[in-house]
Every structure is written in C-alpha cells, then in structure tokens.
C-alpha cells in the first residue's frame, strides 16, 4: 500500500464525505467559476492538509469528530487552493502538478478573481457556521503567508538573508498553513484547550521540515515537476546556499553572490553554484536541520496514547522528509 493511502486509511470515510462537502462549498451561480473550479477539483493533489485536520481531531478526541472538523478542513482547502492559484500568477508559472495552471488557461485577471473567490468562500464557510475561532486561526495564517512572501521578495533583492531570517520566511510562507491545519483540527473538537497550541507547534515543525525538503530538491536529479536550480534562477536564498555562503571565504562569497545576482539565468553558472554548495556540505547541513524539525514534531506526539491516528500522523511526518517529490 502506498504511504499516502496508509495515512488516509483511518480517515477514509471522513475524506470521502469531506470531498463532497468541499465541492459544494466551491459552487457559484456563475458558470465560468464552476467550470474553473471543476478543473481545479479534478486535478487536486494528495489533500494532505485536510488529512492533518481530521487526524489531529481524531487523535485528541478518541476517534470522533464533528461538523466543525469538516468546516475546518473545507476552510483550509479553500484557502490553500486560493493561495496556489495566486502563487501561479505571482510566479508567472504555467504548470501546476504537470497540468496547465489557471492563469495559463484563463489568463491572470481571471486567475486572480478565482483566487479571491476561493478566499472569500473560505471566510464564508466559517461565518455561516459562526466558527469565529476557526476563522481567527485561518486569518492569522493568511496574514503570515503574505508577509512571508513579501519578506522573501525583499531579501532576494538585497541577498542579505541569514539562517534566522530564512527560518522566519519558511515559517510564515509554508509552515503557518500546516500549523493552521493542526490547530484547526484540535480547535474543532477541543476549543480553548492546550491541544490547540501543542498541535499548532506540531504543524509548524512539520511545515519547516517540509519546506527544507523542497529546497533540497533544487539540488537533486529527481524529476519533481520543477527544473533543478530553479530557486537559484529565482534568486531564492535556501538553507543549503546560506550554509555554503557562511562557510566561504570573502572571494568565494563574492563569486556566489555575483552568480545569484547577475548570472542566475546562466545554466553553466547555476550548475557550478549547485556543485559548490554540494562540495561545501550545504545539503548535509540542510538534511540535519530538517531531521531535527521532524524529531521535534514527533516528540510532541509522545504525550498522546497510541492509536491508529497517532500512527498515521507519525507516518505523515516521516513522509514529509522521505518523499521523492
């Protein structure tokens, strides 16, 4: 059995019911919207984020969930989908998971409006059910995601990013949404409990490990849907590169910064940068940090009794760092 199927197994019924509810939550009176959302739903990914919501809720509530849990999962998936649609516009990306992106098929203006529509639907799902605590969680996540993106853009211009600033960026950009999934799951069944903060932290640590794994793909040979060296071409300062910079003498530092600033579209130069980062131990260092975040996340599960939901969450955390794409 594939790992994702194993993770999904204890919540299979809930996920099937969720998919039906999620599709209904995306419906519109405008035919064009429905055509586009149908396209999105038929090309959905693994839906890891709703799985985090359901598994967390079931783990801390003895295997039972409620309507608020479904509401939380729908909010998360709507906001996540909206952010992907907007990201493709911002990055001028024409492919998403091997398929044409919304902006490639329907142009930027429509893609932005679809993203806005999905964001508003996410907010409305919470408001219609008077789940203000869930709305508060997702609103904070959206704020963090926007700030993280802007911080990354600001630092890419100056190339003055430290390891600490890098962690701030990925915490806001990526980890905050996974943190929201887990705290949302906890909050849906045990509002105002210590579980909400414990699982917010758990999700954040998973997200940190997830993003470092993504950064490592940039230096690998695996075909993962984005070409090797794309982060360097986009002047993104990732952990392997930051570590290599910190280990370099002045001359090599100048060469590296000059390569990223002025030669980031030169394929030969990008390959040289990748080789240098590997040589300086940048990948090993990033792997060690990724595993540290993973272990810290798993340690937070130690205080909970053994169950199939705990096993699935453990499998999920390990999958985050072991995945091949």
Of 278 and 28, the one with more pLDDT: 278
Phi and psi at 220, nearest 5°, equal -100, 180
pLDDT band at residue 221 under the 50/70/90 scheme: very low
The domain 3-322 having CATH identifier 1.10.600.10: the answer here is yes
pLDDT of residue 28: 79
Quote the pLDDT of residue 95. Answer: 66
**Long-range contacts formed by 10-16: CB under 8 A, 24+ apart:** 10/55, 10/58, 10/308, 10/309, 10/311, 10/312, 11/51, 11/54, 11/55, 11/58, 11/309, 11/312, 14/54, 14/65, 14/69, 14/70, 15/47, 15/50, 15/51, 15/54
pLDDT tier at 220, thresholds 50, 70, 90: confident
**Two structure tokens written together for 57:** 């809720």
Using pLDDT thresholds of 50, 70 and 90, give the confidence band for residue 153: confident
The pTM (predicted TM-score) of the whole model is 0.89
* Confidence at 219, pLDDT banded by 50, 70, 90: confident
pLDDT (tens digit per residue) in 42-86: 777 778 899 999 999 999 998 889 999 999 999 999 898 888 877
Q: What is the distance between the alpha carbons of residues 15 and 167, in angstroms, rounded to a whole number?
A: 32
Domain boundaries, the chain: 3-322
pLDDT of residue 35 exceeding 90, the answer is no
Average pLDDT over residues 127-138: 92
- Residue 97: pLDDT band with limits 50, 70, 90: low
Question: pLDDT tens, 289-303?
Answer: 999 999 999 999 998
């Amino acid at each position: 059995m594939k790992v994702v199927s194993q993770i999904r197994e204890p919540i299979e019924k809930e996920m099937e019911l969720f998919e039906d509810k999620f599709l209904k939550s995306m419906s519109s009176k405008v035919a064009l919207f429905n055509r586009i959302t149908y396209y999105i739903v038929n090309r959905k990914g693994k839906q890891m984020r709703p799985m985090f919501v359901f598994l967390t809720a079931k783990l801390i509530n003895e295997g039972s969930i409620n309507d608020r849990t479904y509401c939380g999962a729908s909010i998360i998936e709507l906001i996540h989908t909206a952010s992907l649609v907007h990201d493709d516009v911002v990055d001028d990306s024409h492919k998403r998971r091997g398929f044409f992106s919304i902006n490639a098929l329907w142009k930027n203006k429509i893609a932005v409006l679809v993203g806005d529509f999905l964001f508003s639907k996410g907010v409305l799902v919470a408001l219609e059910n008077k789940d203000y605590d869930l709305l508060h969680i997702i609103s904070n996540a959206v704020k963090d995601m926007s700030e993280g993106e802007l911080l990354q853009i600001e630092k890419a211009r100056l190339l003055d990013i430290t390891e600490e600033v890098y962690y701030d960026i990925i915490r806001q950009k990526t980890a905050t949404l996974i943190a929201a999934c887990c705290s949302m799951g906890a909050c849906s069944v045990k509002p105002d409990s210590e579980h909400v903060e414990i699982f917010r932290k758990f999700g954040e640590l998973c997200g940190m490990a997830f993003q470092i794994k993504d950064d490592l793909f940039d230096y690998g040979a695996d075909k993962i849907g984005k070409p090797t060296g794309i982060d360097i071409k986009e002047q993104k300062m990732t952990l392997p590169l930051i570590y290599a910079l910190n280990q370099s003498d002045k001359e090599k530092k100048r060469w590296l910064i000059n390569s990223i600033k002025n030669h980031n579209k030169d394929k030969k130069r990008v390959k040289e940068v990748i080789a240098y980062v590997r040589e300086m131990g940048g990948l090993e260092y990033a792997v060690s940090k990724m595993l540290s975040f993973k272990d810290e996340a798993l340690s937070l599960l130690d205080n909970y009794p053994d169950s199939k939901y705990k096993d699935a969450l453990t499998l999920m955390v390990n999958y985050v760092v072991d995945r091949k794409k």
